[in-house]
Structure 1
Amino acid sequence: MSSIAMSDIYKTGHLDFEDNKKLIYLTPSEPIVYSSNNWIYKAMPSLEQWLADIETQSTMHRAQGSNHLSFTFPEDETPNEQLRKEIKNKSFELSYLELYAISPAELMSAETINIDVQFVTRDSIEDYLDVHQVFAESFGNDYVQQSTELIRHRFADEVIQRVIAYKDKIPVGILNLILAEDTIEIDGFGVLPKYQRMGIGKAMQNFVAEVANDRTIILVADGEDTAKDMYIKQGYVYISYSYNVLKEQIN
Structure 2
Amino acid sequence: MAKWTFNHIETIGHITEDNDFYRQYHYPEMLIRYDSNFIEFKQMPTLVQLKELEQNMREFHRQYNQRHLKFEFPDNQKPVFDVMNYLKENKYDVGFLELYSIEPDQFPRVENHPDIEVKEVTDELFNDFIKLQYKQDIENGEEFAKGKIQLNERQHKNDQYMKVVAYYKGKPAGTMNVILSEQTVEIDDLAVLEEHQRKGIGSRLQRFVMDRFPESTIILVADGEDTPREMYQKQGYQYQGFKYEALKIEK
Work out whether 1:229 is the aligned partner of 2:230: yes
CA distance in 2, matches of 1:154, 1:230: 28
Compute the displacement of 1:153 (Å). Answer: 3.1
Deviation, 1:124, is 1.0
Secondary structure of the residue that 1:55 maps to in structure 2? helix
The within-5 A match list for 1:70-85 is 70-85=70-85
Unaligned runs of 5+ in 1: none
Q: Is the 8 A contact 1:97 1:242 kept in 2?
A: yes
Q: Which moved more, 1:231-240 or 1:140-149?
A: 140-149
CA contact (8 A) 1:165 1:174 kept: yes
| Separation of aligned partners in 2, 1:15 and 1:117 | 35
Q: Which residue of 2 aligns with 1:194?
A: 195
Which residue of structure 2 aligns with residue 174 of structure 1? 175
How many angstroms apart in 2 are the aligned matches of 1:191 and 1:12? Answer: 23
Contact 2:12–2:27 (8 Å) recurs in 1:
no
Instruction: Please give the alpha-carbon distance, in whole angstroms, between the structure 1 residues aligned to 2:86 and 2:172.
Output: 45
* Residue pair 2:99, 2:222 contacting (<8 A) in 1 also: yes
TM-score (norm 1): 0.96
Question: 1:64 aligns to what SS in structure 2?
Answer: coil
Does the aligned pair in 1 maintain the 2:110–2:203 contact within 8 Å?
A: no
The one-letter code sitting in structure 1 at the alignment partner of 2:174 is: G
- Residue in 2 aligned with 1:44? 44
Alignment match, 1:26: 26
In 1, Cα distance between the equivalents of 2:202 and 2:123? 23
2-structure distance, mates of 1:122, 1:75: 38
| Distance in 1 between residues matched to 2:93 and 2:41, nearest whole Å | 17
SS at match of 1:17: strand
Question: How far did 1:2 drift?
Answer: 3.8
Q: Is the partner of 2:156 in helix, strand or coil?
A: coil
**Aligned partners of 2:178, 2:150: CA distance in 1, in Å?**
19
Where 2:20 maps in the other structure, the secondary structure is coil
Which sits farther off after the overlay, 108-117 or 38-47?
108-117
CA distance in 2, matches of 1:150, 1:187: 14
* Deviation of the 1:207 alpha carbon: 0.4
Deviations 1:65-92 (A, max 9, x none): 2221110000000011111110011111
Deviation, structure 1 residue 173:
0.5
Aligned-pair Cα RMSD in Å: 1.2
**d(CA) in 2 for partners of 1:234 and 1:144?**
31
CA contact (8 A) 2:6 2:75 kept: yes
User: 1:155: which partner in 2?
Assistant: 156
1:108 CA displacement: 4.4
Bigger drift between 28-37 and 110-119 goes to 110-119
Secondary structure in 2 matching 1:247: strand
Q: Deviations over 1:185-243 (max 9, x none)?
A: 00000011111111111111110101112110000000000110000010011110000
Structure 2 residue aligned with 1:126: 127
Matches of residues 110-125 of structure 1 in structure 2 within 5 Å?
Answer: 110-114=110-114, 115-125=116-126
Q: Is 59-68 or 186-195 further displaced after alignment? A: 59-68
Is the Cα–Cα contact under 8 Å of residues 41 and 74 in structure 2 kept in the other structure? Answer: yes
* Identity across matched positions, percent: 33
Uncovered stretches (5+) of structure 2, i.e. residues with no partner = none
Q: Does 1:9 align with 2:9?
A: yes
Map of 1:183 onto structure 2: 184
Structure 1 ranges of 4+ moved more than 3 A: none
Task: Work out whether residues 108 and 205 of structure 1, in 8 Å CA contact, stay in contact via their aligned partners in 2.
Answer: no
SS of the residue corresponding to residue 173 of structure 1 reads strand
CA shift for structure 1 position 116: 1.4
